[in-house]
Structure 1
């Protein structure tokens, strides 16, 4: 518990953060400065002290503090610095450390902490899912990381979709195969993730942690390469029929929430990105629409030195052959795609595939581009001569 003196000091900062009358006092901190100071002080509290402070503060007071903290961080963007990370980590730490009974209060004061699930159909460049606002629901007994049974189901689908690849039966399960996009149009972000995990199979276990208390912490990175922990509650967006709206790890078509058919680490990366992604020009952090549509902006969030190196479409095969690193390839929109490409049943326009394998059959070398739509979707198999007709851009991570 806080002592009377400790609470009074924090309460004074809370008052200054939420009351713009202090700006007329030349001896007082600005609202933003008071909010930053309070956020720093909260980080120093024990879980019990933090819970005591949150309990004794009203939702209205906490909301005013949150507004001042968010606004202060964004003011400095005018000068090319600062961001939302102080704001994000304040609610993130509170969700992780404070009494679980306070989570609704935290969500109310810091709405980004429970990302808006709304999707749109009236903007052709944004959402591609039915218009609506999926409700958050309990994901059931699905584990964070795939069990051996789920891994085998994923691998079986992977092999089944690669009947033409003579090496497919020798391939073993790997975590990058988990990526299974569902209702949100964030293939570009999931392709980033697939490529990173392809290079670092330990990434899911090291970056996604179930805290065992109804929260999950995902480690992302800021643009300076510093790790940033984003804690979210373990509920996830659900459709009205009870199926999950977003990505997950598991075989396509499997019933969501079944411990024998799906796993959740991809879902929580997606939720943490929706809460914390700051590089969308139309949507602020705290909504799934912020991660709909893009190309390379997610790379810095997944690795400390994250970036995408552009690759000429004609050089995709040589780039992959030189180091075996996955290459992401962007397809054009339906109006720009060639008829030959659109006739290929594995092709998807306005999408990102990831080159993950190559093989030789009948004296021809083929390149296999995995689809982040999931292991049950056939790969796009092409020769280098076809790349120009199928892709509009490419990059390595």
Structure 2
């Protein structure tokens, strides 16, 4: 009897069987074709046997290595065809089990998930996850705290496949998920120091919600973000939202809202030349990101990925030094014209998602405000988990989140800065809070390029030993080139970034 679930699975599995058969015969076919070509060559006295590049590759590029592996078709098709057959079988099994899951759990699996290449869904795992969620509703913290219970629930939910998670989220009530969120957020000791803790640390909470968002169907992503809003950082407390312009650049930021950017994740431009800070006051973070992208672009590129469900995951390290993958939807803060307010590239968005992940994960915010607004509670306050937390901080705060290791403070000693840069380390440095040290003989253009209370990155050294400092505002902004004495007079708090594993 034919099993029909939108596909004729008997015929689909028949295709997989045929692919395996062809894969098994490809090596024999390759050898037979090569023998014919070799026989022909022996009678042609050095003349070309064929003008086909494909056939020539069979004859010339098929020297058996490592047990007879060939590097041209048809011989090299054996592995890919066999892999394709395996993928078809797994997807067919998954699709069939999705139908059983729907029958057993009395719900529907999002169509985008039914043919994915992952283990077949198990209705029992969905029921166990729902039971664990609901058991938490009636538990108080107790003398031993609830952290172990919360970690157990989190592990069950993170262990669900995409289809299982979809069924779980369809069945879970919003108030049940909200209750779980509140329990996770309520941290602290349950009693005496030797007793257990309550809630989950920030890094664990983010990792938990990220793992779910990376697998959730488009329909359930909004439900997850409503239940666990940690993954959509607010911007209402940022200086540029409150003032509606950036007082350093003078650019307006009216009508800030979340929206979908039109640019792709990457372009072909070098990463270190494709970062613009935008209007948020997070030069201290963007300088770290740009400097790292300049010195080790592969490290940055490996730290961001697009998930099959359309979400984006970015690698960060939390306040305790644990690597986390922070997952977010594709929405970014835009202005009234639909242009990005925060970090961006020249036609790319990767820097914006790094910035968003940092806003979600950064735990070190203790306040900070633009000139003249220190002490103003609207500006100068702790804003954990928001874009506001990324504004106005010190040069040593961002590097661990970007590179996975604390940076090395090297002051403004010229020799130390040059040694760090020559050794391949990204280097960032802060400018002074005023322009008192700017040389009188500088041109007005040079003076304008020097921005106070700003963080730069070392871009290069000139042949005569001057330091060229890049501005995180972007490659279109003028660099600042200084002598050793000027550098030591006009800058402070240089950091040598230490990239994990390098």
Which interval holds the TM-score relative to the shorter structure?
0.7 to 0.9
| Structure 2: distance between partners of 1:277 and 1:236 | 17
After superposition, the C-alpha distances for 1:291-318 in whole angstroms (9 at most, x for unaligned) are: 11222222122223x2211113133554
**In structure 1, what is the equivalent of residue 287 of structure 2?**
191
| Structure 1: distance between partners of 2:254 and 2:205 | 28
- TM-fit CA distance, 1:75: 5.2
- TM-fit CA distance, 1:321: 6.4
Query: Which structure 1 residue ranges, 5 or more long, are not aligned?
Result: 152-173, 251-261
Match of 1:298 among 386, 391, 398: 398
**Paired residues of 1:176 and 1:194 also in contact (CA < 8 A):** yes
**In structure 2, what is the equivalent of residue 40 of structure 1?**
155
Larger radius of gyration: 2
Q: Confirm or deny that 1:88 pairs with 2:206.
A: yes
Residues 96, 133 of structure 1: alpha-carbon distance in 2 compared, 3 angstrom cutoff:
farther
Residues 338, 133 of structure 1: alpha-carbon distance in 2 compared, 3 angstrom cutoff:
farther
Larger displacement relative to structure 2 (38-47 or 196-205): 196-205
| Structure 1: distance between partners of 2:127 and 2:436 | 64
**Paired residues of 1:136 and 1:236 also in contact (CA < 8 A):** yes
**In structure 2, what is the equivalent of residue 269 of structure 1?**
354
**In structure 2, what is the equivalent of residue 243 of structure 1?**
339
- TM-fit CA distance, 1:338: 3.5
**Paired residues of 2:278 and 2:343 also in contact (CA < 8 A):** yes
**In structure 2, what is the equivalent of residue 255 of structure 1?**
none
Match of 2:265 among 127, 139, 144: 144
**In structure 2, what is the equivalent of residue 311 of structure 1?**
410
**Paired residues of 2:318 and 2:362 also in contact (CA < 8 A):** no
- TM-fit CA distance, 1:370: 0.4
**Paired residues of 1:120 and 1:132 also in contact (CA < 8 A):** no
**In structure 2, what is the equivalent of residue 50 of structure 1?**
165
**Paired residues of 1:14 and 1:34 also in contact (CA < 8 A):** no
**Paired residues of 1:208 and 1:217 also in contact (CA < 8 A):** yes
**In structure 1, what is the equivalent of residue 10 of structure 2?**
none
- TM-fit CA distance, 1:109: 0.9
**Paired residues of 2:319 and 2:363 also in contact (CA < 8 A):** no
Residues 132, 296 of structure 1: alpha-carbon distance in 2 compared, 3 angstrom cutoff:
farther
**In structure 2, what is the equivalent of residue 59 of structure 1?**
174
| Structure 1: distance between partners of 2:384 and 2:168 | 26
After superposition, the C-alpha distances for 1:92-144 in whole angstroms (9 at most, x for unaligned) are: 111111211111111111111111122444999xx95778772111111x121
> Over aligned residues, Cα RMSD in angstroms?
3.1
Residues 247, 302 of structure 1: alpha-carbon distance in 2 compared, 3 angstrom cutoff:
same
Residues 5, 212 of structure 1: alpha-carbon distance in 2 compared, 3 angstrom cutoff:
closer
- TM-fit CA distance, 1:238: 0.7
**In structure 1, what is the equivalent of residue 431 of structure 2?**
331
**Paired residues of 1:237 and 1:244 also in contact (CA < 8 A):** yes
**In structure 2, what is the equivalent of residue 380 of structure 1?**
480
Determine helix, strand or coil for the equivalent of 2:448: coil
- TM-fit CA distance, 1:395: 1.4
**In structure 2, what is the equivalent of residue 286 of structure 1?**
385
- TM-fit CA distance, 1:4: 7.1
Q: Confirm or deny that 1:389 pairs with 2:489.
A: yes
What aligned pairs does 1:170-189 form with structure 2 within 5 A after superposition? 174-189=270-285
- TM-fit CA distance, 1:51: 1.4
Question: TM (normalized to structure 1)?
Answer: 0.78
Question: TM (normalized to structure 2)?
Answer: 0.62
Bigger RCO of structures 1 and 2 (CA < 8 A, at least 6 apart): 1
**Paired residues of 1:183 and 1:245 also in contact (CA < 8 A):** yes
**In structure 2, what is the equivalent of residue 158 of structure 1?**
none
